[in-house]
Chains A and B, each alone.
Chain A
Amino acid sequence: MYGFEIERPTSVADAVAALGADEAQALGGGQTLIPTLKQRLAMPSKLVALSGIAELRYVRREGDVLKIGGGTTHGTVAREAAGNFPGLAALAAKIGDPAVRNRGTIGGSLANNDPSACYPAAALACGATIVTNSREIAADDYFQGMFTTALEEGEIVTEVRFPIPEKAAYTKFEQPASRFALVGVFVAKYADGVRVAVTGASNDGVFRWSAAEEALSGSFSADAVAGLAAPDGSDMISDLHGSGAYRAHLVGVMTKRAVVAAG
Chain B
Amino acid sequence: MTEVTMTVNGKSVSRAVRGNELLVEFLREQLRLTGTHVGCDTSQCGACNVHVNGEVVKACTMFAAEAQGAEVTTIEGMANADGSLSTIQQAFQDHHGLQCGFCTPGMVMSAAALLKDNPKPSEAEVRHHLQGNICRCTGYHNIVKAIMAASGQDVGAIAAE
Task: State the CA gap A178–B131 with chains docked (Å).
Answer: 10
Q: Which of B108-136 contact A (CB under 8 A)?
A: 110, 113-114, 129, 131-133
* B46 contact from A5, A99, A177, Cβ within 8 A: A99
CB neighbours of A178 from chain B (8 A): 44
B71 contacts A by Cβ under 8 Å: no
B20 and A1 within 8 A (CB): yes
Using an 8 Å CB-CB cutoff, how does the interface string of B14-51 with A read, 1 for contact, 0 for none?
A: 00001110100000000000000000011110100100
B68 and A8 within 8 A (CB): yes
A6 and B57 within 8 A (CB): no
CB neighbours of A35 from chain B (8 A): 42-43, 61
Task: State the CA gap A6–B52 with chains docked (Å).
Answer: 19
A31 and B65 within 8 A (CB): no
* A31 contact from B43, B113, B114, B131, Cβ within 8 A: B43
Q: Which residues of A contact B (CB under 8 A)?
A: 1-6, 8, 27, 30-31, 34-35, 37-38, 46-47, 49, 51-52, 75, 96-100, 102-103, 177-179
CB neighbours of A46 from chain B (8 A): 19
B63 and A49 within 8 A (CB): yes
* B62 contact from A34, A52, A177, Cβ within 8 A: A34
B80 contacts A by Cβ under 8 Å: no
B57 and A103 within 8 A (CB): yes
A–B Cβ pairs within 8 angstroms, 5 of them? A5-B2, A5-B19, A6-B19, A34-B62, A102-B56
A98 and B62 within 8 A (CB): no
Q: Size of chain B's interface in residues, with CB distance under 8 A? A: 30
CB proximity of B123 to chain A, nearest CB, Å: 17
A49 and B57 within 8 A (CB): no
B63 and A6 within 8 A (CB): yes
CB neighbours of B110 from chain A (8 A): 98-99
CB neighbours of A96 from chain B (8 A): 131-132
Residue in A closest to B42 when the chains form the complex, CB atoms: A35
Task: State the CA gap A26–B131 with chains docked (Å).
Answer: 28
Residue in A closest to B67 when the chains form the complex, CB atoms: A51
A99 and B19 within 8 A (CB): no
Task: State the CA gap A8–B70 with chains docked (Å).
Answer: 14
Given contacts A34-B61, A98-B129, A100-B58, contact A49 B66 (CB under 8 A): yes
CB proximity of A67 to chain B, nearest CB, Å: 23
* Given A3-B19, A34-B22; 7 other pairs, CB 8 A cutoff: A6-B20, A6-B65, A27-B63, A52-B68, A96-B131, A100-B61, A102-B52
CB neighbours of B61 from chain A (8 A): 30-31, 34-35, 99-100, 103
Residue in A closest to B48 when the chains form the complex, CB atoms: A99
* A75 contact from B19, B55, B68, B133, Cβ within 8 A: B55
